[in-house]
């Protein structure tokens, strides 16, 4: 059983009705299981959530608590992100597949750089000032495959900006699927040409993960509910459709689990507050690491109480809706090194620099925000057809998919969504399997 896992960055519950009206994602929901209330993790940032999607663990276990590393001495544009897979502290679906002897491909997936478990790796990395984007991708990913792909298909990509990047990423995934030699082509596609020895050795990777970011970029730049964001949703549906047709034409659709997920929604920004600048102006022993609609408060010298009291005393001035205590953060499975955090009032974004161009919309909110409810499609032989799950949690996705394709992911903290399956699947011991 193969797995194709597609992430629709920045889609959420409010997009469900429109996405289900589109030809490909609507049909996928009818072919399998759909859920429009998948609770995302805290923090609702792309890199922590995508690591949860691969591990089934919360940030306090998998170790990725933010997109960026906390390096306050550097200006925001020079801060490194979590690009290396070795930073993940729990086993991923990529590693579980590799350990089981299966071939893995990953395209634009966060925190996937330098991953020996991935044979075809196009990691999501960003060039910092003074770096070359192409050289960085080649260094972190699968050099020769990326080079061949660029030579073959690079001319189809006018730029590395969206929507061109997503179109190129989906094309690479499609070409990997087409590596599958099909001795029984669909009707009308028959051929009398015998396959070469090289064709007989070629095959689609057993696990493909694809991260589509078009919608996230559009919403940051244009706002949450705009004509531009609706057009991005249509483009993502088209990418999914191209991949489903590629699976069908390769003769492997009926032997593939197709999962489409999202990581967080967004909400519009109406005001910005430079929280870190305020902390420094007050001489407080703390720095803010912004997350958009929230921020970690990194206390120096362990002076937790003084910083907490100062934030509470200026709660209205700083547009703070909630101050999260150590206890609350542990209950939310926040990163273990975070002792204090804040969430902003509705529409207020915490920024590093008031002079930078503001977002029209963003995320980084807490678990109670309406945009914290995400989407999940799962289709393939193990799953019920046309079923609707009332709710799920982001940590449930990895163990459920691992179970569906016969992989072991024993460190996962989520549960297997047994109600999504057609029948009992025996043969794999799971510590959280109901008796």
Domains of the chain: 2-267+369-420 (3.40.720.10), 270-358 (3.30.1360)
Instruction: State residue 7 phi and psi, 5-degree precision.
Output: -105, 130
Half-sphere exposure of 298 (CA within 13 A, CB side): 15
Contacting residues for 320 by C-beta, under 8 A, at least 6 apart = 311, 314, 342, 343, 344, 345
Q: Give the separation between CA 17 and CA 230, rounded to whole angstroms.
A: 12
Instruction: Report the pLDDT value the prediction gives residue 350, as an integer from 0 to 100.
Output: 97
Note the pLDDT of residue 423.
Answer: 75
How far are the Cα atoms of 39, 322, 393, 429 from residue 414, in angstroms, in the given order? Answer: 12, 27, 8, 15
Inter-residue contact 211 to 110 (CB < 8 Å)? yes
Is the four-CA dihedral 217, 373, 29, 400 of positive or negative sign?
positive
Contact status, residue 361 vs residue 223, Cβ threshold 8 Å = yes
Its pTM stands at 0.93
Write down the pLDDT at residue 380: 97
In this prediction, residue 300 carries a pLDDT of 82
Mark 116-144 as b/e (b = at least 16 C-beta within 10 Å): ebbbbbbbbbeeeeeeeeeebbbebbbee
Confirm if 342 and 275 have CB atoms less than 8 A apart. Answer: yes
Confidence at residue 186, expressed as pLDDT on a 0 to 100 scale:
45
| Residue 105: alpha-carbon gap to chain centroid | 15
pLDDT tens track of the chain, all 435 residues? 999 999 999 999 999 999 999 999 999 999 999 999 999 999 999 999 999 999 999 999 999 999 999 999 999 889 999 999 999 999 999 999 999 999 999 999 999 999 999 999 999 999 999 999 999 999 999 999 999 999 999 999 999 999 999 999 999 999 999 986 544 444 444 444 454 444 444 589 999 999 999 999 999 999 999 999 999 999 999 999 999 999 999 999 999 999 999 999 999 999 999 999 999 999 999 999 999 999 999 998 778 899 999 999 999 999 999 999 999 999 999 999 999 999 999 999 999 888 877 899 999 999 999 999 999 999 999 999 999 999 999 999 999 999 999 999 999 999 999 999 997 654 444 444 443
Q: How distant, in Å, are the alpha carbons of 18, 30, 105, 241, 404 from that of 24?
A: 12, 10, 23, 5, 22
Q: Enumerate residues 6+ apart whose C-beta is below 8 A from 169.
A: 107, 108, 122, 210, 211, 212
Alpha-carbon dihedral sign for residues 54, 56, 59, 62: negative
What is the DSSP secondary structure assignment for residue 38, as one 8-state letter?
E
Residues 307, 411 contacting (CB under 8 angstroms)? no
What pLDDT score does 201 carry? 45
Q: b/e for 160-193, b at 16 or more Cβ within 10 A?
A: eebbebbbbbbbbbbebbebbbeeeeeeeeeeee
């Amino acid at each position: 059983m193969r797995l194709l896992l597609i992430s629709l960055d920045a889609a959420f519950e409010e997009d469900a009705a429109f996405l289900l009206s589109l030809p490909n994602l609507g049909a996928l929901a009818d072919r399998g299981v759909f859920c429009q209330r998948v609770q995302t993790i805290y923090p609702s940032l792309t890199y922590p959530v995508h690591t949860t999607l691969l591990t089934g663990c919360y940030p306090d276990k998998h170790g990725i608590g933010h997109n960026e590393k906390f390096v306050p001495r550097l200006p925001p544009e020079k801060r490194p992100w979590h690009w290396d897979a070795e930073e993940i502290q729990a086993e991923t679906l990529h590693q579980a597949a590799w350990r089981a002897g299966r071939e893995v491909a990953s395209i634009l997936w966060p925190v996937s750089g330098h991953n020996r478990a991935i044979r075809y790796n196009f990691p999501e990395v960003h060039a910092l000032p003074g770096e070359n984007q192409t050289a960085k991708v080649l260094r972190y990913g699968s050099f020769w495959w990326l080079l061949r792909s660029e030579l073959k298909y690079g001319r189809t990509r006018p730029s590395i900006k969206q929507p061109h990047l997503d179109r190129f990423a989906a094309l690479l995934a499609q070409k990997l699927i087409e590596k599958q030699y099909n001795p029984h082509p669909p009707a009308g596609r028959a051929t009398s040409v015998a396959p070469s020895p090289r064709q007989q050795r070629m095959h689609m990777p057993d696990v493909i993960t694809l991260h589509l970011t078009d919608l996230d970029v559009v919403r940051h730049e244009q706002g949450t509910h705009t004509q531009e964001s609706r057009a991005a949703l249509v483009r993502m549906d088209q990418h999914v459709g191209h991949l489903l047709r590629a699976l069908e034409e390769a003769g492997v659709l009926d032997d593939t689990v197709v999962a489409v997920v999202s990581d967080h929604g967004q909400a519009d920004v109406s005001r910005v507050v430079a929280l870190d600048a305020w902390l420094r102006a007050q001489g407080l022993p703390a720095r803010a690491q912004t997350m958009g609609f929230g921020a970690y408060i990194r206390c120096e010298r362990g002076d937790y109480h003084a910083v907490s009291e100062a934030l509470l005393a200026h709660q209205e001035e700083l547009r703070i809706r909630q101050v999260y205590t150590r206890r609350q953060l542990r209950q939310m499975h926040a990163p273990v090194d975070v002792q204090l955090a804040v969430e902003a009032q509705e529409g207020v974004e915490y920024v590093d620099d008031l002079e930078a161009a503001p977002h029209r919309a963003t995320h980084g909110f807490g678990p109670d925000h309406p945009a914290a409810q995400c989407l999940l499609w799962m289709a393939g032989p193990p799953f019920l057809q046309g079923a609707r799950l009332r709710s799920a949690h982001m940590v449930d996705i990895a163990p459920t998919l691992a179970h569906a394709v016969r992989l072991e992911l024993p460190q996962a903290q989520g549960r297997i969504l047994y109600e999504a399956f057609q029948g009992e699947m025996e043969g794999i011991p799971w510590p959280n399997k109901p008796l």
